[in-house]
């Protein structure tokens, strides 16, 4: 496990174990919060919870994804990691572009611009 974390630190250009812990905390808070916020947003948008699951689940995913992206930047900023998460999101948006889809794991470096 330690070897994997060291590889991840190198790939993401994380400078310390403390920064790695902060990044994991931000991911945890953001994931939990965005899923929790999905229900009120579904209600605000008038999407009933008793809808056919084949329609309701994709709609929920479409709502959670942008909420997650926004919250990741907000919470990451609150923890002093804006640059890390901003670069991460830029990479996520570029994945379908210049990167080779068969080789994403080798090209996924957060610190690159």
Residue 89 clears pLDDT 50, i.e. is over it: yes
pTM: 0.75
Q: Can you give the residue ranges of every domain in the chain?
A: 9-85
- Name the DSSP letter for residue 1: -
| HSE (side-chain half, CA atoms, 13 Å) at 81 | 27
Residue tagged 């997650």 (tokens): 68
How far apart, in whole angstroms, are the C-alpha atoms of residue 31 and residue 88? 15
Residue 11: count of CB within 10 angstroms of its CB: 15
Taking the C-alpha atoms of residue 12 and residue 26, their distance in angstroms, rounded to an integer, is 15
**Predicted confidence (pLDDT) per residue in 25-41, tens digit:** 999 999 999 989 988 99
């Amino acid at each position: 496990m330690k070897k994997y974390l060291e590889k991840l630190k190198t790939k993401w250009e994380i400078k310390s174990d403390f920064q790695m812990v902060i990044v994991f905390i931000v991911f945890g808070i953001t994931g939990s919060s965005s899923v929790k916020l999905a229900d009120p947003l579904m209600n605000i948008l008038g999407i009933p919870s008793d809808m056919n699951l084949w329609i309701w689940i994709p709609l929920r995913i479409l709502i959670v994804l942008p909420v997650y992206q926004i919250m990741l930047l907000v919470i990451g900023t609150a923890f002093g990691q804006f640059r890390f998460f901003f670069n991460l999101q830029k990479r996520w948006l570029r994945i379908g572009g210049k990167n080779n889809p068969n080789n994403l794991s080798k090209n996924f470096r957060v610190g690159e611009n």
